Chains A and B, each alone.
Chain A
């Protein structure tokens, strides 16, 4: 009788029941994930966390403004060429310089490496931070990609340029002073043998041994026909330097007084 009744339950009812069960689980998980954060967040930290999130949101808006203004200026430059050969040549050179500097979003063949925090249980006497992806990890991967022949690199939404610093603050990683949440996706455009060169490099092998094998830092790869890299949306203004009219190296700087030193 029980069996006959079970058979009479429609398939959609089973689906709905299962979905409601998972829904309940997810709501509970969401509430649980909020709970400890509220408990451990002190009165000082709560406004600081929201300040960081607000500032990051503002930064995203400012970066978009920079990109939009650059695009608008490029259109005006093209309109202002005025048909003169000099202006046209200059505009072509400007576009090439912008591409070379990382100010233009690029696509091309390459490689994506995803670095994720360790899933290995942290031993009681260990430092929890060793099991998280650090700025040094991201920097190592970026450097090894350059050495393996990459011609352009980005970390998550941040293009790596001549001015890019990758730093740690606590357990968080900042690239171009933008806070990035893990996992970190390091994308590179480069030659078809870039993956082989990377995985055979001593520095990268050391990194895998010391971080992935020792602490369980996740390192996943994907070789792709087309990798998209964002444009750098930061300042390119020189405040303390200027471009010489006739460039040339000057190996004899005028030294001022020492500002700091380390003597063993």
Chain B
């Protein structure tokens, strides 16, 4: 029969072994990417994550105010209908379920580009803080993808012919600056498609239509 002390020794060593395996794997996966980045890349990364953190702090502040306002209404015995309606409008506008009006930019693409070129511009607009985007009169929402080869680009099942017009709501200078920066998406597309002209203009006021798609999940259910 095995002695308890020997079993304890084996168990301790195996525990330490498992712990070290996990530490080793976590160390490698989490920090390996960062360790390989240049100072310039790390600085850019810090700027990106800081910007997101600031947005999140703003969101936390707004949600705390909202919670406080609703709590006071409930204490007074009022319904929170007004607050709910305001929240509903905001979320529907953000998600594309409702039309949104505001300032932003208009991008004209004259010439044939494939769907992935348009996706490159959409991704840049989102990264620059666009609050809503439309291609022609099609609202870009989650699940809407510009796809297909040059001259046969479809968006939400509809063929989009040249000139393709993208409109985006957001801070005009930031959106335009991000698109037209050196080495940015327009510069990349200029190198790939020299015959195509892409222009960006500020828009004082534009309305993006609501999506025609149903955004409600059918197969997915809320996870409790």
Contact = CB atoms under 8 A, between A and B. Distances in A.
A143 to B, nearest CB: 5
B60 A69 contact: yes
Contact of A253 (B35, B48, B206): B206
A7 interface: no
A29 B37 contact: no
A178 interface: yes
B106 interface: yes
Interface string B142-170: 11110100000000000000000001011
Contacts of A264: 190, 194-197
A44 interface: yes
Contacts, number: 419
A150 B197 CA distance: 33
B205 A106 contact: no
Nearest to A166: B123
B93 A19 contact: no
Interface in B11-68: 13-14, 16-17, 20-21, 23-24, 27-39, 41-46, 48-53, 55-60, 62-64, 66-67
Contacts of A244: 98-101, 207
Given A87-B79, A176-B52, A260-B180, A12 B7 contact: yes
Contacts of A238: 90, 93-94, 100, 102, 131-132, 169
A66 B79 contact: no
Given A151-B219, A264-B195, A77 B70 contact: yes
A101 B50 contact: no
Nearest to A252: B206
A255 B59 contact: no
Given A76-B70, A96-B216, A241 B88 contact: no
A229 interface: yes
A200 interface: no
Interface string B168-210: 0111110011011000001101100011111111111111111
Interface in A120-152: 139-140, 143, 146-147, 150-152
Interface residues of B, number: 138
Nearest to B179: A260
Contacts of B29: 181-183
Contacts of A251: 137
Contact of B28 (A33, A174, A249): A33
Given A84-B81, A87-B79, A248-B207, A179 B99 contact: no
B207 A240 contact: no
B197 to A, nearest CB: 6
Nearest to B122: A165
B223 A105 contact: yes
A65 interface: yes
A243 B48 contact: no
B41 A77 contact: no
A55 B90 contact: no
A249 B207 contact: yes
Contacts of B215: 100-101
Contact of B221 (A10, A97, A107): A107
The 3 A-B residue pairs whose C-beta atoms are closest, nearest first, are: A241-B102, A260-B180, A170-B41
18 contacts: A12-B7, A20-B13, A41-B35, A45-B37, A55-B50, A80-B79, A86-B81, A102-B95, A108-B219, A139-B119, A163-B130, A170-B42, A183-B29, A191-B219, A244-B98, A253-B203, A254-B203, A263-B197
Given A165-B124, A177-B127, A237-B62, 9 more contacts: A33-B24, A48-B39, A80-B80, A97-B88, A99-B222, A100-B215, A161-B95, A174-B49, A262-B187
